[in-house]
């Protein structure tokens, strides 16, 4: 009996050896996505540059002897110089632009992350509920989204700033609370297709509640889309905050951001061009890197590109 049970395995091994079939270990979706992501040179380079900027923004101000609010009266409107210790020059009141650029990066990146998390929580939850339940619930929820789409986005954010005051926390909430509309539509469309799959139907047959199905089966299968959306939303949010700061409705003194620094530099671009160049370069590089990383993740997580 033991010989009879082992015979099929022996025959299978002999057949594989005869065909000289290599035994290849399988890879999960995330391992395969990581492998293809690291084959994308532009995405890898952008990710490395983005991490370098992040480390510089976080650690840099502590390694520089100048404080962000320190006024060097002997070097007002000083151009970039190693001799004076102001590597990016100084502004109209003698403050070191290098330190202020790094601290402005903290605010800009923090706004991007926090506002994206807020929009992510609202958009994913809203879209998953609308897509799963469908019917009248879906129609009512998506009509609400259409109403918000009809409102001018920047006008709504500016209105919140004027009514409730210019507060950095309000900037986070205002941008994030409006930026969830695209995510809600994306998640709703994906949920409509996922709820017709076999494993969701099996969960329904086993008596799982809608909340359990959404949490255990719908949301985990949306992670690829969500990750890509995060990398594409962060630069959009940073750009919105920069535009608000450029208009004078964003962060206020003594805090600063890349948008606020660009606004200050644009007013003195003829006499002190370095005040505009350095913050604009940091902002542009960060936005480009985030977009390249998002494109790389989109290609890596696309199941149609799997080989």
Q: What is the predicted pLDDT for the residue at 231?
A: 78
Residue-level pLDDT at 211 = 86
* C-beta of residue 300 within 8 angstroms of C-beta of residue 37: yes
Residue 11 lies in a domain: no
| pLDDT at 302 (0 to 100) | 63
Query: Has residue 127 been placed in a domain?
Result: yes
pLDDT at 141: 92
- pTM of the predicted model, to two decimals? 0.74
pLDDT of residue 45: 92
Burial of 285 (0-12, 13-18, 19+ CB in 10 A): middle
In this structure, is residue 15 part of a structural domain? no
What is the predicted pLDDT for the residue at 27?
A: 59
The reply to whether 20 falls in a domain is no
Instruction: Please tell me the predicted confidence (pLDDT) of residue 110.
Output: 86
Structurally, the chain folds into a number of domains equal to: 1
Q: What is the structure's pLDDT at 11?
A: 42
Rounded CA-CA distance 232/92 in Å is: 35
Residue 12 in domain:
no
pLDDT at res. 28: 61
Blockwise average pLDDT, block size 10, the chain, 307 residues: 48 45 53 77 90 90 80 82 82 86 88 84 90 89 88 74 70 76 88 85 85 84 80 81 75 78 83 87 89 81 56
160: nearest Cα among 176, 144, 146, 145: 176
Residues 43 and 297: beta-carbon distance below 8 Å:
yes
Q: What is the pLDDT of residue 55?
A: 92
In degrees, rounded to 5, the angle at the alpha carbon of residue 120 between the alpha carbons of residues 210 and 179 is 125
Q: Is residue 108 part of a domain?
A: yes
pLDDT, position 52: 93
Determine the structural domain holding residue 215 and report its residue range.
Answer: 31-305
Burial 225-246 (b: 16+ CB within 10 A, else e): bbbbbbbbbbbbbbbbbbbbbb
| Residues 214, 306: Cα–Cα separation, whole Å | 26
Quick one: pLDDT at residue 14? 45
pLDDT at residue 31, rounded to an integer: 73
5 in any annotated domain? no
- Per-residue confidence (pLDDT) for residue 18, from 0 to 100: 43
Residue 6: the pLDDT is: 47
Domain at 194, CATH number: 1.10.3720.10
Residue 228 CA to residue 295 CA, distance in Å, equals: 8
Mapping DSSP onto H, E and C, the string for 43-98 reads HHHHHHHHHHHHHHHHHHHHHCCCCCCCCCHHHCCCCCECCCCECCCECCCCCEHH
Measured CA to CA, the distance from residue 11 to residue 56 in angstroms comes to: 61
Report how far residue 135's alpha carbon sits from residue 144's, in angstroms, rounded to the nearest whole number: 15
């Amino acid at each position: 009996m033991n010989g009879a049970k082992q015979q099929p395995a022996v025959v299978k091994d002999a057949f594989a050896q005869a065909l000289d079939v290599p035994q290849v270990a399988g890879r999960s979706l995330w391992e395969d996505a990581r492998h293809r992501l690291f084959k994308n040179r532009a995405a890898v380079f952008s990710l490395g540059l983005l991490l370098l900027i992040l480390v510089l923004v976080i650690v840099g101000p502590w390694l520089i002897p100048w404080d962000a609010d320190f006024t060097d009266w002997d070097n007002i409107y000083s151009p970039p110089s190693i001799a004076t210790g102001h590597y990016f020059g100084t502004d109209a009141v003698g403050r070191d632009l290098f330190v202020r650029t790094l601290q402005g990066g903290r605010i800009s990146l923090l706004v991007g992350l926090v506002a994206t998390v807020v929009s992510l929580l609202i958009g994913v939850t809203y879209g998953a509920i609308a897509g799963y339940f469908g019917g009248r619930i879906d129609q009512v929820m998506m009509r609400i989204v259409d109403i918000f789409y009809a409102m001018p986005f920047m006008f709504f954010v500016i209105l919140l700033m004027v009514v409730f005051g210019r507060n950095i926390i309000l900037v986070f909430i205002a941008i994030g609370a409006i930026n969830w509309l695209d995510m809600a539509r994306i998640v709703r469309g994906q949920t409509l297709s996922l709820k017709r799959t076999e494993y969701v139907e099996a969960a329904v047959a086993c008596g799982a509640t809608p909340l359990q199905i959404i949490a255990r089966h719908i949301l985990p299968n949306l992670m690829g889309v969500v990750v890509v959306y995060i990398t594409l939303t962060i630069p959009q949010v940073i750009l919105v905050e920069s535009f608000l700061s450029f208009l004078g409705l964003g962060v206020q003194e003594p805090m600063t951001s890349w948008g606020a620094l660009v606004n200050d530099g644009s007013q003195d671009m003829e006499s002190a061009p370095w005040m505009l160049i350095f913050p604009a370069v940091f902002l542009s590089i960060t936005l480009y890197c985030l977009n390249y990383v998002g494109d790389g993740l989109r290609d890596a997580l696309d199941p149609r590109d799997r080989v």
